[in-house]
Amino acid sequence: MRNERLRNKINIGMTYGDPAGIGPEILASTLNNWQKLKLSKLTPMVIGSKRILKNVNNNAIFIDNGNNHNKYVPGKPNKISGQHAYECLKQGVLLAKKKKIKALITGPVSKKIISLSTKRFSGQTDAIANLCGLTSNDVIMIFVAKDLRIALFTRHIALNSIPQKIQKKKLKSFIILLNAEIKKWFKIKKPKIQILGLNPHAGESGMFGNEEIKFITPVIKELRKKGIAISGPASPDAALAEAGRNYLTSKKQKYDIYVSLYHDQALPMFKAIAGHDGVNVTLGLPFNLVRHNIFVTSMCFNTNTRFTR
């Protein structure tokens, strides 16, 4: 029976992230509301222990990774819980690579906790890319809420190292990949892309920095000649203000995706207005990957906060 379900249903792999965090509670709630969410055509496949997900009234398939014999204390993640989360993630990627699941949805983890047992762990995006035999440059982290989409050119790096990462070759490759992936997954024939400037007012013609003149503008001109609909560099405050207003007033976005040059350039605005509706998606993988809800990570290990959906 189980093998038949694996063959005939659209299987969606799901991890709960760190078992000591809020992920199990969120995933349990999702599974219990599966029919209400009109997801009957999809079969949830949980990579992890059924003992961790309590009171689940759902016919989900559980893929036990064998590392479920420890007692995890909610709100008190440790090396063992982080290792369990990482092992579940690895197994989920393996199932996706073997085409046992159509997509993978991952729960929240603590980078610090996983790094206690796994070297060079900077996040699930880069870890999954590595498990797929890809580099961090082969995948793109984007944030999506309705038609508001934001792509990150750089991810989890120190702020003072960002300018040196903005190079013509890397930026060009990034935009080409982004353009192709937006076409592929969002079925947009010719995506309209707007790239933000690095400096205030996009440098104000070199007054506040020259990265826009030296690197960003030449790449934009070159890619336009190749038929990519890209504009910029835009003044970040003005561009994001307009995008935010359009989202809040349900007005169609002017661009299909905005390129944020660093993590905290556009994400504060996105998280403030999108709230629980925002999700983190990774492009460039051989399968669909939807990351956890954007509010989960910050609340995951706060024992004074109860988060339910």
Instruction: Give tens-digit pLDDT for 143-191.
Output: 999 999 999 999 989 999 999 999 999 999 999 999 999 999 999 999 9
**Tokens in use for 162?**
């960002």
What is the average per-residue pLDDT within 85-114?
Answer: 91
**How far lies 297's CA from each of 87, 92, 110, 209, 302, in Å?**
19, 20, 8, 33, 10
pLDDT at 59: 74
Beta bridge partners of 230: 193
pLDDT at 68: 56
CB-based contacts of 203, cutoff 8 Å, min separation 6: 197, 209, 210, 211, 212, 213, 233
Q: Which of 59-63, 131-135, 144-148 has the lowest mean pLDDT?
A: 59-63
> Mean pLDDT, the chain, as a whole number?
86
Q: What is the pTM of this model?
A: 0.82
What is the average per-residue pLDDT within 1-17?
Answer: 71
Strand order in the sheet with 288-293: 61-63, 42-47, 10-14, 103-105, 288-293, 279-283, 140-145, 148-152, 257-260, 192-196, 229-234
How many whole angstroms separate alpha carbon 117 and alpha carbon 120? 10
Tell me the range of 55-69, 110-124, 203-217 where mean pLDDT is highest.
203-217
Query: Which one, of 18, 17, 6, lies nearest residue 44 by Cα?
Result: 6
SS3 assignment, position 258: strand
How many whole angstroms separate alpha carbon 309 and alpha carbon 302? 16
| pLDDT(309) > 80 | no
How many whole angstroms separate alpha carbon 283 and alpha carbon 181? 6
| pLDDT(132) > 80 | yes
For the chain, what percent of residues have pLDDT higher than 70?
88
Residue 294's pLDDT band (boundaries 50, 70, 90)?
very low
What residue ranges define each of the domains in the chain, with the CATH number in brackets? 1-136+285-292 (3.40.718.10), 140-283 (3.40.718.10)
What is the average per-residue pLDDT within 256-269?
Answer: 97
pLDDT at 189: 96
| pLDDT(296) > 70 | no
Instruction: Give tens-digit pLDDT for 17-33.
Output: 999 998 999 899 888 88
pLDDT at 291: 59
Query: Which one, of 156, 150, 153, 202, lies nearest residue 174 by Cα?
Result: 153
| pLDDT(213) > 90 | yes
Beta bridge partners of 257: 193
